[in-house]
Each structure stands twice: as C-alpha cells, then as structure tokens.
Structure 1
Amino acid sequence: MRVAIDTQPGGAGPNEDWVAGTPSLAIVLDGLSTAGLDTGCRHGVPWYVAHLGGRLVAALTGSETSLTAGLAGALEQVAALHPECDLANPGTPSATVAVLRQREGSFDHLVLADSPIVLEGHQGFTVITDLRVDDVLPDLKAEVEQYETHTADHKAALQRFVTAQRQTRNTPGGYWVAASSPEAAEHSLVGSVSTKDVSTAAVLSDGTSRLVTEYAMATWQEVFSALKTGGPQELIQNVRKVEALDPTGLRWPRYKSGDDASVAFCQWG
C-alpha cells in the first residue's frame, strides 16, 4: 500500500491533527477543541495526539493485534505518561481516531467519532464514520452557528456548548472519543472489507471531509480525482479556497473559520 499524507493547521494556532502512513497503515487523529477551557492537563492537545499516534503505529505495525486492542493499549500507555495531570477532567485532551490497515486479502478499519474513512470501489464510494456526536445538544450547537466566527457572541456560545458537550463525552448516552480511558476503544466502529472490493481509500479529518459533507462544494468523485492528480495537498488547498469565500461563517456556519485538515490517501497496485 502506498500512502500519501498531508496535514495543515486551520489558522494561526498549533495543528491539533496528526496523520501517519506506512506500507500497511493509514491513521488520522483529530484533536478536539478545548474552546479555551481548562483541561486539567499541562501538555495540550498536540502533545496528546502525537503520543497517541506514535503508540498506535507501534501497536499495529507487523502485528495481528486487533485495531480495538491496539487502540485500547495505546490509550492506556499515553495515560501512564502523565499521571500528574487530572485525567478525570471531562475536558482532558482527546481526539477522534480513524485507522485503515491492510492485511493479506483484506482491509481492516476502525473509526471513533467523526473522522471518516472513504473507500472507492467498483460500485462507487463507501463512507465509514461515527456521527453520534451530531445527536448531542443540538440546541446549543444551533446557538453557536447563529453567530459569525471571531465574534464575542460566537466565542461565548461555543464555550457554553463545549462545556455542556464535555459532560456527555465518553458516557453511555453521549458519544465516544479517544481520551484517558481504554474503554473508549470498545465503542469504536470496526470492520473489514476484501481488497478485491476496494481500489483506493482516503482517511480524513473532518476539516477535510467537510468539503463534501458540510460545504457540499465537491462530490466524493471530485475529491478522489483531486487526490489522484494533486495528492493530499491539492485537496486541502481546495478546502481552503472554499473557506475563503465565507471567512466568517455566514454561508456555512461553523465553530471556526478554518479547521485543521489532514489526509492519508491510500493506493495499491
């Protein structure tokens, strides 16, 4: 498997995405926004996704370990790196997870939260994603989206939303992400498809997939055409061009003008 990767920050702040590719793996992590609120951790989201990603690669490379077990082990290992932090804080650094692994005759996939894996096959495109977060606190989400980004009202509404959202994170009635407990891995969406049924695949953060899912400014066919001609960098540039048409979120309401965007594009002969 050949994996081309790129990741770019959505603004002036640090990139809270993480992406990696090996001959058998493609991984994208999308760190969750803290909205300027306390996390109980002195390390921050970029530190968290880098350490979780590295341990995921180590656990799943050249191994028959299941994706679920690999993620659970990586979560446990990262938690052990900073026991001095308040890992019980509901805002502890966390991330979405999307993993595609090639094995003999098949591709295994794991998705936890809304970073999708898109498979191109003979019958079209299959999108594997976990949208449980969309069912959480829709009224507060709508309140955020009524304000233009970079306004005081938008910031205040976003903090109210994130504060309430944290209370539902990794709970039975809420949604699940990678955080401090290995239990989250058991709530991942996992599966496997035959290599005969897939020609290419893309593992994305939602900062990239929104070109299709939120902005409706491209189809999956157009996304994959851009990946095949210009690679991940071209696709992310296409996202930025669209966002530049609506810098304050009037046409496409959102949490920030530009989100961190990551791509792992997988091809094989």
Structure 2
Amino acid sequence: MYRFLLSARWIGFAIFVVLLAAICTRLGFWQMDKLQQRFDRNDAITKHFGADPVDLSTALPAGTEVDKSNEWTRVRATGTYDLDHQVTVKFSTRDGAPGVNVVTPLVLDSGAALLVDRGWMETQNNVSHPDVPDPATGEVTIEGWLRKDNGATGGAVRPNDGQVRAISSDGMADFVPYDLIDGYVNLQKQSPAPSAGLAVEPKPELGQGPHFFYALQWWFFALLAVVGYFWFARAEAKERRKPTRIDGFAAERQLVPTMGRGSEATEGRRPGEARRP
C-alpha cells in the first residue's frame, strides 16, 4: 500500500522534510540560547546597579576592553569635555519621537579620552546640525554606565559631518587626536550639573523578550513539517486505492443496456422500434 514512498519523488520529499524539521528545531534551541543570554544580562545589570560606582581605572584598567563581565558597571571619571570632536547619533528615537544622542569625548588627566553619551534630545531626522546644548565648562566629574561599542562597522560608526549612526570608540579613533578608552559611558550624573535639554539614558529593560515564544514557534514548524509528511502520504495512499474498487451496482447497470441491444437484434428489430404483435 505504501510502496510509493520508495519512489524518487517521495524519497526527495522525505529528505526535504527531515532537513526542514532539523533546521526549525535548531533555530528553536538558538532562541532558547538567546533567552539564557538575556537572563545572564539581566543578572549582570541587576548586580552592577546594586553596587556603588567605582573609578573608571578600577572597572576598566588600561589596555582592557569592555565585555560582558564589566559592561553596565557604574563608573565615575573626571576630565574636560572636548566640544571640537563632539558628534550626534542620528536616527535615535524614544517613544516614537525622532531625535539624536549627543556623544562628547571626556579628556582625562592621563591624556586619553572617554566617549560620553551625554543624553538624548528630540529633533527632526533631516537636521544635519541640531542645536545641541553645551556641557559645563572646565573640569567635570561624571557618573554613568559602562557600555560596549556598538557592533556596527564602516560608515555607521565613522563621523560624517559631525554625525554617526552608532557609538563606537573604534570608529571614532581616527577622528580624535588622542587615544580613546574602549567602549563608552551612558551619563547619569555630573558635577557641575549638565545643561538642561538632554534626557539621560533610561534604565535597560529587564524582561525576557520574545525568545521563548519564538522557540515555540520554530518547534511547532518542525512538528508541522513531520505531521504534514505523514498526512500527505496517507492521502496519496487513499487516492491510489480508489481505482481498484469495482462498484457492483455500476457494473450491473453497464451490463443491462448490452443485453437489451442484443435481444433487439435477435428479434430483427431496429433499436427503439415497437414490438410486433
């Protein structure tokens, strides 16, 4: 009954189903791995936010990089803002409103500088040089969250007419005349107080995100592919059984007209001619 499954067409179909189910299953586990990473990130954020701020040199010794072990650490640093190399991050939105983030290098006593995301302001995306409020002049002490460079590359992180699309110390390296410390800081507090007009970065969302439900969807697609294969196989088997059935009633009806035509021919009458008395 199911020998047709050994045909080339059905073998190819089976291979396709197995590959599809395997890929969907793997994508489901990938989403679960992303979920675990999200939990680890939330734990790290909660731990760092529960601790007191530390000096930048303690959280990020010279020559080290920002990674998942020290990202979100609350740090403080003292230096002077360099407005000549300030950039804005365009296409930054909050609650659906367009705007820019303002990133200003903070030159430290060591001569190196730290990129500081001073905050966000609402402005139209088509404004190439928004009117950004200046920070306090002279030496300032800042406090904020240590962040990793954005993973973008190329023109997205290299300043163009004083604007970038993502924050990266690597992308800004050729734009400034001093060494840049890896990563950047989301400003939260400053002394003297920063100018009005910039909104500090809000606390990150600590939810689990959509990863769990995405995993369920991928696993459902894998199950659907397997069930679909057996459903189509069963439908094919049923279709192949239909031609082998002989309806006895239909066969009898086919024989009756043949017998009638033979009887009329035997009596010498044309088909349809009335019977002679």
- Which bin holds the TM-score, normalised by the shorter protein? under 0.3
Higher helix share: 2
TM-score normalized with structure 2 length: 0.20
TM-score normalized with structure 1 length: 0.21
Task: State the structure with more CA Rg.
Answer: 2
